Amino acid sequence: MTQHTLDASSITRGDGLVDKAYKVIRDAILSRRLAPGSRLSVPEFARQLDISRSPVREAIARIEYEGLAESTSHRGAVVVQIGLDELISIYDLREVLEGLAARLATRAADTTVIDDLEQNWQAHHDAVESGDVERHMELDAAFHGHIRDAAGNLRLSDNLRQLQGQIRIAMTTTVARRGGMDAALAEHRTLIDAIRGGDPAVAENVARDHITRLRESLHDAALADHHHIDERHET
């Protein structure tokens, strides 16, 4: 059986072990150190993290609730495997929710929100210029996270966070589209300008167009590669 090593550096004694175990396991899933189909072993993870099984069990239950893992009859919890059809459905839902987040964020946006988005965009620009795909994915997710936070709707934020996690898992098998990082960066620029402009309807439309383009790019890429997916696709 393949051994999956977790990074236990953030685990300390005391309160909050469930949260810390959750973060370590979730990060391993999203960074693809735990690939789709990998078994989430409570005893093994407890041993690696040097904590009891109870917080690990609770952490895995939370990860299942987020849709990043699922229970099986013979293997226990495993990292979910998301196919193209399901991924397209996820993007359909994400389009609506990201549009709403942009609308709400525009209503609430202040200079701090705009500054955070601008700083993210500059760092993202540098990553794209250097061709750093992993950094691109990280900053892309952070950009949408800033907008979710600015929207101020916890239920909306939770739903989008869950979708984003599932998308990151699926990206372990998605084709990289040439120019995809450049397109995402340009669309983020347009969305920042729309939020700064203060018209919620415009910002919503820009956000929805951005996700629509991602969905269409994903579909075209999968068809071009006979539905084989490479980890470099934008999120």
Query: Top-level CATH class of 84-224?
Result: mainly alpha
Distances (CA, A) of 150 to 117, 119, 139, 222, 231: 10, 15, 16, 33, 29
Query: Top-level CATH class of 17-79?
Result: mainly alpha
Question: What was the pLDDT predicted at 149?
Answer: 96
Give the tens place of pLDDT for each residue, 140-158.
999 999 999 999 999 999 9
Residues in the chain, total: 235
Does the pTM exceed 0.85? no
Give the tens place of pLDDT for each residue, 194-220.
999 999 999 999 999 999 998 888 777
Is the pLDDT at 175 greater than 80, yes or no?
no
Burial of 85 (0-12, 13-18, 19+ CB in 10 A): exposed
> Hunting for tokens 């236990």 — which residue is that?
8
Report the 10 Å Cβ neighbour count for 203: 28
Q: How far apart are CA 218 and CA 235, in angstroms?
A: 10
Distances (CA, A) of 233 to 28, 88, 96, 179: 19, 14, 21, 10
- Comparing 235 with 50, the larger pLDDT belongs to 50
3-class DSSP state of 79? strand
Every domain of the chain with CATH number 1.10.10.10 lies at 17-79
Label residue 1 by pLDDT band (50, 70, 90).
Answer: very low
Q: φ, ψ for residue 191 (rounded to 5)?
A: -70, -40
Every domain of the chain with CATH number 1.20.120.530 lies at 84-224
Answer positive or negative: Cα dihedral of 7, 26, 113, 115. positive
Burial of 127 (0-12, 13-18, 19+ CB in 10 A): buried
Question: What was the pLDDT predicted at 166?
Answer: 86
Is the pLDDT at 231 greater than 90, yes or no?
no
